[in-house]
Structure 1
Amino acid sequence: MKILIVSDTHRRNENFEKVLLAEKPVERVIHLGDAEETESCMSRIAGQPLDIVSGNNDFFGDMPREKEIMLGDYRVLLTHGHYYYVSLDTKMLGREARARGFDIAMYGHTHRPKIEKKDGLVLLNPGSLSYPRQEGRKPSYIIMELDEKGNADYTIKYLE
């Protein structure tokens, strides 16, 4: 199973559409907030099952603040991250995810891609497809793949 994870597109969907074309087929799309579009609009753009949460700039629509999903055998928390102060560090998010029994916590907000593995928990941030803030400032996203045995692999990818 191939899963596309994005965040912080901020209504600039050109790069999102490029990534969808470049990575197809994907079985699922996850958007971690600051889409600044309604969920139904994002679903039409993605064309696949879409899991989306609201970010600090998503004022319209009825997207949930957080979402819990299963990806294979992995229990996953989706959040934008601003309620957990991820711009400072991921300690609060990590504590909350562990306390609630999650295997993976996915977040956005910082516009910087990151994969952290700590004490049995994976923290993923795909960065931003529209306004990247990491060194080099390339738009970024994550591909998560589940193999035949259900093991997960994560790759940060950059749009050229």
Structure 2
Amino acid sequence: MASYTFLVMSDSHGDRHVVEDIKQHYQGKVTALFHNGDSELPSTDPIWSGIEVVRGNCDYDNGYEDTNVRHFGEVTLVQTHGHLQGINFGWQRLDLLAQSEDADVCLYGHLHRADAWKNGKTVFVNPGSVLQPRGEVQEKLYALVGVDDDKISVDFYSLNHQLYPSLSKVFER
């Protein structure tokens, strides 16, 4: 199997500049770029060319999809914002979404908290927020997710593209 690297950001809440900066830094260097919603930008904005994006609870443009399923070779990735799965109240519905797609990776946002965890075969990744972080880590972050035959790695980066090592995790496949 080939190896893949995915750039994942979320919850930019109108800050087009931060999305553009991250896109320019990684375009052509990763397999795919993802934005997990709450951009508050029009779905027709040219910035979305080359970025997989879903609708968040603060996105009122009907041009966005609620979920996105992508296949990269033998890797299945499902993307959603998370509000429709009620992630503020538990993980069951998000987990059911991932299971229904037999996902290797499930990307979500909404909580503004950088985290990565595994349930069953699926690694769940919230890249945090590039504008309004919440929780214990008050750093504006995004994530790089690496997938190969043996493992899925998740590393978080600050807006100056520096590794935030205390949150890095590696999961067996």
TM-score (normalised: structure 1): 0.84
Deviation at 1:150, TM superposition (A): 8.5
Deviation at 1:93, TM superposition (A): 0.7
Deviation at 1:21, TM superposition (A): 4.0
1:39-50 pair list within 5 angstroms:
39-41=43-45, 44-45=46-47, 49-50=50-51
1:14 aligns with 2:12: no
Write the distance in 1 (CA, Å) between the matches of 2:122 and 2:146: 17
Q: List gaps (5 residues or longer) in structure 1.
A: none
Q: Counterpart in 1 of 2:134?
A: 133
Task: Name the stretch that deviates more: 127-136 or 86-95.
Answer: 86-95
Q: List gaps (5 residues or longer) in structure 2.
A: 161-173
Task: Name the stretch that deviates more: 84-93 or 121-130.
Answer: 84-93
Deviation at 1:119, TM superposition (A): 1.4
RMSD: 2.2
1:9-88 pair list within 5 angstroms:
9-24=12-27, 25-41=29-45, 44-45=46-47, 49-88=50-89
Q: Counterpart in 1 of 2:164?
A: none
1:104 aligns with 2:108: no
TM-score (normalised: structure 2): 0.78
- Letter of the 1:40 partner, please give it: T
Q: Counterpart in 1 of 2:155?
A: 155
- Letter of the 2:154 partner, please give it: Y
- Letter of the 1:111 partner, please give it: H
Instruction: Using the aligned pairs only, state the percent identity.
Output: 26
Deviation at 1:29, TM superposition (A): 1.1
- Counting matched residue pairs gives 156
